């Protein structure tokens, strides 16, 4: 962890989310509308290059949350002075467990916000160059309340409400440091695909406010840093906060959507390509970005260095149970019999291992059939109408020959 802190300090005077957009990990395809007010960008993962970006993603994620950790250290009185009675507080207070103690749903939300910043700073969104001065995670009150609850009770993190306000904000400044454009980002991250989530994102992006609603929060974060870059940002943000003449200012919008399961056919649109989504009603420039990844939850867990929370196996005969399940799926797809195995099952939840990322999406498309099969073969007792077994897919080493 010390290495991450040192690297974080080295990055501080540079781009907040420095990322090699030329890395082959993400293919980049852009379509612009005829009136040039709308751009659709599709970033699609190349699995062969994923390993080349993991360390960089981990560093970006760590740095994005470091302001929140530093604020927590200050609030609880952590000191580096060996004579200070609170000097050892960090060893007793789980500061470094933030935010990876959160459950995967909350971490996906955080990752989505960070990735919106990566996209804004490293790709020419709407043909412009943008800067992200800070992330707003220190204002996620529910996360810190849960951290304290878990510290006292030693429990397990559950669902919490998301942070309110702007997901991410980027700016463009002129040579005098005056902000001439804001890019207000609405970020979504789902391990499958969710049309409702897309609609909600575009509806929220249509809000009427001309400047970001979290300007004062950004000022507070940057005011805690006496670095000259932060000082200049505070001046720029305060000037925008009290500006009365917006003739030389533009608000632009970004919808960033991370999805783990694109349509089977390339002709099917996740987000409209040639014109804005119907739920986007503002008369501003908008870019919608689709980021198509494999095993979204696995990547998020890896980026946050989150240890997997395996459930206790309720039956040692996992191989037999898995055979029962797949026999109840009509014309059992080979991907289930040859590339999957049951890792754990406790009667309510199951973890299914998939032996490669390249097979992951195929299995994900069969998730509903797998859930139904658990019920049909009698392994899952449906106590509530409509309830199905909870299935988690996990990429693991290839299935041993004895189980293939």
Residue 349 and residue 392 in contact, taking contact as beta carbons nearer than 8 Å: yes
Mean pLDDT of 302-317: 73
pLDDT digits (tens, 9 = 90+) for 217-248: 999 999 999 899 999 999 999 999 999 999 99
pLDDT digits (tens, 9 = 90+) for 366-385: 999 999 999 999 998 877 88
CA-CA-CA-CA torsion sign (56, 78, 132, 255): positive
Report whether pLDDT(265) > 80.
no
pLDDT of residue 386: 81
Mean pLDDT of 190-199: 95
**Long-range pairs, 68-71, Cβ under 8 A, ≥24:** 68/98, 68/99, 68/137, 68/138, 68/140, 69/95, 69/96, 69/98, 70/224, 71/138, 71/224
**Domains assigned to the chain:** 2-303 (no CATH), 318-403 (3.30.300.180)
Report whether pLDDT(91) > 80.
no
Q: How far apart are CA 271 and CA 283, in angstroms?
A: 18
How far CA 274 is from CA of 154, 194, 337, in Å, comes to 51, 20, 41
Mean pLDDT of 252-259: 98
Q: How far apart are CA 375 and CA 377, in angstroms?
A: 6
pLDDT digits (tens, 9 = 90+) for 338-368: 999 999 998 899 999 999 999 999 999 999 9
Residues 6+ apart with CB under 8 A from 295: 191, 260, 357, 360, 393, 395
Q: Are strands 349-354 and 340-345 parallel, antiparallel or unpaired?
A: antiparallel
Angle, in degrees to the nearest 10, between helices 215-223 and 228-241:
150
Q: How far apart are CA 108 and CA 63, in angstroms?
A: 16
**ω into 99 cis (within 30 of 0):** yes
pLDDT of residue 385: 81
Say how far residue 297 (Cα) sits from the centre of its chain: 9
Report whether pLDDT(90) > 80.
no
Residue 180 and residue 174 in contact, taking contact as beta carbons nearer than 8 Å: yes
Global pTM reads 0.89
């Amino acid at each position: 962890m010390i290495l991450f802190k040192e690297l974080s300090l080295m990055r501080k005077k540079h781009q907040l989310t420095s990322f090699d957009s030329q890395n082959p990990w993400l293919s980049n395809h852009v379509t612009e509308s005829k009136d040039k007010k709308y751009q659709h960008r599709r970033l699609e993962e190349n699995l062969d290059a994923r390993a080349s970006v993991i360390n960089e993603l981990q560093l970006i994620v760590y740095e994005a949350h470091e302001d929140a950790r530093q604020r927590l250290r200050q609030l609880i009185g952590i000191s580096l002075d060996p004579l200070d009675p609170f000097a050892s507080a960090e060893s007793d207070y789980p500061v470094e467990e933030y935010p990876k103690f959160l459950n995967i749903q909350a971490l996906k939300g955080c990752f989505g916000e960070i990735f919106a910043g990566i996209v804004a700073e490293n790709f020419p969104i709407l043909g412009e160059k943008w800067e992200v001065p800070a992330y707003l995670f220190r204002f996620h009150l529910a996360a810190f309340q849960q951290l304290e609850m878990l510290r006292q009770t030693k429990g397990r993190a559950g669902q919490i409400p998301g942070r309110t306000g702007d997901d991410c904000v980027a700016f463009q400044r002129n040579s005098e440091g005056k902000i001439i454009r804001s890019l207000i980002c609405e970020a979504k991250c789902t391990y499958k695909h969710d049309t409702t989530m897309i609609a909600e994102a575009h509806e929220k992006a249509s809000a009427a406010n001309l400047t970001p609603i979290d300007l004062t929060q950004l000022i507070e974060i940057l005011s805690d840093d006496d670095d000259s870059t932060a000082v200049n940002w505070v001046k720029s943000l305060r000037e925008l906060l009290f500006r009365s003449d917006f003739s030389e200012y533009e608000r632009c919008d970004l919808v960033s959507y991370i999805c783990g399961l694109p349509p089977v056919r390339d002709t099917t649109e996740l987000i409209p390509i040639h014109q804005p989504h119907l739920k986007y009603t503002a008369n501003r420039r908008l870019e919608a970005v689709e980021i198509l990844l494999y095993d979204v939850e696995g990547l998020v867990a890896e980026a946050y260095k989150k240890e997997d929370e395996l459930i206790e196996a309720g039956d040692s005969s996992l191989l037999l149970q898995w055979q029962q399940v797949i026999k109840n799926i009509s014309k059992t797809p080979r991907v289930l019999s040859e590339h999957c195995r049951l890792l754990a099952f406790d009667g309510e939840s199951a973890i299914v291992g998939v032996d490669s990322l390249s097979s992951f999406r195929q299995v994900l498309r069969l998730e509903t059939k797998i859930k139904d099969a658990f019920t049909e073969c009698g392994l899952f007792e449906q106590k509530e109408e409509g309830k199905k077994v909870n299935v988690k897919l996990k990429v693991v080493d290839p299935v041993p020959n004895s189980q293939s």
